[in-house]
């Protein structure tokens, strides 16, 4: 099976290309406008250009959509992908969506839960992308949509790197009631495993199969923040008051975001500016939304990476990036038993 991976140079995409190459039954092709991946076929593709995308899809047995970026890349790119796949006669799409399609809803949510696109541009774009790609299935294609929670593990800048830096700076810790929401963490290897299972399953023309992806042992945010803080030596892990958290997000956050944008436009993106904590993240950490992933576990036969293993891998990666000496690194990594 020859598989085109859109966004193959990103965090999930690069791990997926490696997993496909090691599968023994699939050949990955990295489709990216950013960078090539050594030892596999690479194609420069503009995912918002129909001709470019259709040309890359010709001869492919499947395409995996790992595209990130702005609203246009996500939503309008899905329209282009659906049309290009039909034109190129690529029979199968695996699309990475997001838990954000559930918006502000709470409780144990299965895949049949209605969309809630009210949380901002990202949620709207992800909802629109799913709707646009449904047209591919309606035209006879096979579509699997995966909705990961917060994808973590070694290499995760979003849920390990920046969280670790916030913990080290004393900006995160035990948030009290503000951190009692469910994390819905899912290991990057489990996301790749779900994609491989979806590709390896029998083709289902005209169907849309949708799966939530969140590990059943993923903790509440407070537990994760404290565990990661201890594991990377950001101790003592302090209690962060609601006032401190809100001040950081609503007052300092916009200022830091403007500074980041200005430096990037000036070609100085590498200059050190503290990363902003957004109001959206504060709301996420407080939200009692738990994704029901039993369907994926049953139909895709997923074997989840346990929380302790993921924490150990994540902490070691973080400490190696910081250049901590080996002896200190071994002493710092203290994680719950697997």
**Residue 20 backbone class (left: φ over 0; alpha: ψ -120 to 50; beta: rest):** alpha
- Residue 110's domain comprises 2-151+185-213
How far is residue 335 from each of residues 164, 182, 233, 234, measured CA to CA in Å? 15, 19, 11, 13
CATH number at 38 reads 3.40.50.720
pLDDT in tens, 90-110: 999 999 999 999 999 999 999
Model pTM score: 0.92
CA–CA gap between residue 54 and residue 89 (Å, rounded): 9
259 within domain boundaries: no
Each residue of 256-283: b (16+ CB within 10 Å) or e? beeebeeeeeeeeeeeebbbbbbeebbe
55 within domain boundaries: yes
45 within domain boundaries: yes
HSE of 338, CA atoms in CB hemisphere, 13 A: 8
CA–CA gap between residue 244 and residue 246 (Å, rounded): 6
Give the single-character DSSP code of 76. I
296 within domain boundaries: no
115 within domain boundaries: yes
207 within domain boundaries: yes
274 within domain boundaries: no
How far is residue 184 from each of residues 30, 67, 109, 207, 332, measured CA to CA in Å? 28, 21, 11, 27, 25
Domains in the chain, number:
1
Percent of the chain with pLDDT over 70: 93
15 within domain boundaries: yes
pLDDT in tens, 277-323: 999 999 999 999 999 999 999 999 999 999 999 999 999 999 998 65
């Amino acid at each position: 099976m020859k598989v085109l991976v859109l966004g193959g140079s990103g965090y999930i995409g690069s791990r997926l290309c490696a997993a496909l190459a090691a599968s023994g039954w699939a050949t990955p092709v990295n489709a990216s406008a950013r960078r090539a991946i050594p030892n596999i076929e690479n194609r420069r593709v503009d995912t918002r250009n129909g001709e470019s995308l259709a040309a890359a899809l010709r001869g492919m047995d499947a395409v995996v959509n790992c595209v990130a970026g702005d609203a246009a890349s996500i939503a309008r790119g899905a329209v282009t992908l659906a049309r290009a796949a039909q034109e190129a006669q690529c029979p199968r799409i695996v699309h990475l969506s997001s838990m954000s399609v559930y918006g502000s809803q709470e409780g144990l949510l299965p895949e049949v839960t209605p969309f809630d696109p009210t949380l901002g541009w990202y949620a709207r774009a992800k909802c629109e992308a799913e709707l646009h790609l449904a047209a591919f299935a309606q035209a006879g294609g096979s579509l699997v949509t995966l909705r990961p929670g917060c994808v973590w593990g070694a290499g995760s800048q979003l849920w390990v790197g920046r969280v670790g830096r916030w913990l080290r700076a004393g900006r995160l810790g035990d948030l009290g009631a503000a951190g009692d929401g469910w994390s819905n963490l899912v290991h990057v290897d489990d996301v790749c495993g779900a994609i491989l299972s979806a590709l390896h399953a029998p083709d289902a023309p005209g169907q849309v199969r949708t799966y939530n992806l969140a590990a059943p042992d993923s903790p509440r945010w407070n537990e994760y923040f404290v565990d990661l803080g201890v594991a990377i030596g950001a101790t003592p892990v302090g209690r962060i008051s609601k006032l401190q958290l809100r001040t950081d997000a609503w007052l300092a956050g916009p200022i830091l975001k403007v500074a980041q944008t200005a430096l990037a436009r000036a070609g100085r993106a590498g200059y050190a500016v503290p990363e902003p904590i957004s109001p959206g993240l504060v709301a996420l950490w407080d939200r009692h939304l738990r994704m029901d992933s039993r369907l994926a576990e049953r139909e895709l036969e997923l074997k989840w990476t346990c929380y302790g293993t993921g924490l150990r891998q994540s902490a070691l990666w973080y400490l190696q990036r910081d250049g901590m000496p080996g002896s200190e690194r071994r002493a710092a990594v203290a994680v719950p038993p697997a």
